[in-house]
Amino acid sequence: MKRFFVFLLLGSVLCLHAAAWREQKSFILKKDQVVKILVKSEGLERILSFRWTLYTDKVLVVHESFDRFVGQHMLSATYGNQSFQKRLLPPKRSELDIPYTVVVFKKFDEGNNTAQMDLLLIDKEKRIVLDYLTEK
């Protein structure tokens, strides 16, 4: 079972490094602080948002929403799953040109009770423009 998880971790790391991201943004978030990103593409404007709600046993619980679909992810910076990805558009020609974002949990600062997360945009065909919105 341990070999499976090591294989899975190595595979995800290799896939992440193989996909050249076009844009990267780091966030340092307090509990329930929402990140909102306006995703502009092919005449559409949609909101991608995420926040973390719980950090326990070195696992961060993250809630995300995009295009009226919501999700919950359990991320760990030390072992297992440390990221989630969100597909932004359907493929144009092949499955290899799908634009998506990857949100990576980097570390948790227990002194400040903040989580560092990175957002990566993988978009080979430059079909997406991201605008980072501030909380009102």
pTM (2 d.p.): 0.80
Q: What is the rounded distance in angstroms from the CA atom of residue 63 to the CA atom of residue 32?
A: 9
Domain covering 2-133 in this structure, CATH number: 2.60.98
Kindly write down the DSSP assignment for every residue of 44-98, as one continuous string: EEEEEEEEEEEEETTEEEEEEEETTEEEEEEE-SSSS--EEEEE-S--SSSGGG-
Q: What is the pLDDT of residues 43-88, one digit of tens each?
A: 899 999 999 999 999 999 999 999 889 999 999 988 888 999 999 9
Contacts of 37 by beta carbon, 8 Å cutoff, 6+ apart: 47, 48, 49, 119, 130, 131, 132, 133
